[in-house]
Structures are given as structure tokens and as C-alpha cells.
Chains A and B, each alone.
Chain A
């Protein structure tokens, strides 16, 4: 299985801050990397697909980056609705695997 390791597991930040979440794959996954946001009691919502591409309707303050097997999700200018848990997902191999999640809380 391809292991996806997210860091940090927990992040505390203030409104207006810029934060970056990292996801490292245990092997090359090309650009088969997606990011999701999940709020309590809700289903995950797609933010970024193919490492960089912004899903329709998602604010441009969300950006994806990639360097080899390291992938990043950056949120610029945190808004109240951004405080949630974020997951990365690889779809390069079977089984599809997710990172363990990064919980973003308001400071």
C-alpha cells in the first residue's frame, strides 16, 4: 500500500494567516494527489485535484504544490469557514489511500 503521511496532524492559526499542510507519499505517485476538506458531521469536499488543479467553486486562496513525493496545500488568508480537517488522497495505486488528516483550529 502507498502510505500517505500528513503533517502536521494539528494546526492552530488565526484569521488571515497563511498555513501550509504537507503530505508525503511513500513512493512516486506522479500527480495522482487530491485534497479534501471535511467539517464535523459532513462529508469530505474536494478542493484540489491532480496536485494543483482547483475544483470548480473552490476559493482561489487554496493552492496545491508538489515536489517529488511531497505535496502541499496552502491556504492564504484564513477565513472562518476554513477551520476544518484536511485530507490528502492518492489514486495512483490500489488501494486508494488517504493521509491521516490535519485538523486546523482557530487560535
Chain B
């Protein structure tokens, strides 16, 4: 059973860069897109972006200038960096696997990590 575990600092200062890691266990990283989704306190879900095993990535245009994602298949890890942090970046950050269905024509996020809470504050 594939499991995802996010890790990173719980508290970061404004203007700094957040670095989070998602560790994948119990299965292969091959042929999957790995996503980051965040949820501010008491609010809904926001897609940050995804990265493929090849390293190619797509980001939410609203965050594109500040986001970078990478994958290390040898360590079975996915990384997220988010720069120039403000209080608006305070959220629970989730890692999620995108699974493809029906000959790769449709997709959904079938496995999620438990999330890691990040607070941006001085």
C-alpha cells in the first residue's frame, strides 16, 4: 500500500523560502504525477502544481513565479519550494498522487499524505 508523508518546518518567517518533502513508501514512483495541494485554515483546497518522474512540472499560474518542484526517484521523494512567503501562505500542505484511468484519458488524486501544517509568521 503506497503511503505519502510530508515533512518540513512548521514555522517560517515572511519573505523566506519554504522547503517541503514528500516521501513515498510502499510502491513505485514511476509513471505517476506527484501533486502539491494546500488548504489555508478553515478554507478550501488550492492546487499548487505537479511534477512528473522525469522532472517536468506544471504550476498554478497564481503561484508560478514563486514555486519549484522536483522529484528524486532514488530517494523516493518529491520536493516543493515556495519563495517570498507571506501570511497568506499559511496552510496545511498535502502531497497527492495522481492516478490515471481509462487509458490515461482521465485522472484523480487517489492517495494523499496526512499533510504538514506551515505557519508563516515573524
Contacts and interface: CB of A to CB of B under 8 A. Distances in A.
B114 interface: yes
B106 A31 contact: yes
Contacts of B108: 34, 46, 49-50, 55, 89, 91
Given A32-B106, A49-B101, A95-B61, A43 B46 contact: no
Interface of B: 35, 37, 44-47, 58, 60-62, 94, 96, 98, 101-102, 106-110, 112-115
A95 B44 contact: no
Contact of A43 (B47, B94, B106): B94
B62 A95 contact: yes
A100 to B, nearest CB: 5
Contacts, number: 64
Contact of A45 (B102, B106, B112, B115): B112
Contact of B101 (A53, A89, A97, A99): A53
A34 B109 CA distance: 9
A99 B44 contact: yes
A47 to B, nearest CB: 10
A43 B115 contact: yes
A97 B47 contact: yes
A50 B113 contact: no
A31 B113 CA distance: 25
A42 B114 CA distance: 6
Given A43-B115, A98-B47, 10 more contacts: A43-B112, A44-B109, A46-B110, A49-B110, A50-B102, A87-B45, A89-B109, A91-B108, A95-B61, A101-B44
Nearest to A91: B107
Contact of B114 (A36, A43, A87): A43
A91 to B, nearest CB: 5
B113 A43 contact: yes
Nearest to A42: B114
13 contacts: A31-B106, A32-B106, A34-B109, A43-B113, A44-B37, A46-B109, A50-B108, A91-B106, A94-B60, A95-B62, A96-B35, A98-B44, A101-B44
Contacts of B44: 87, 98-101
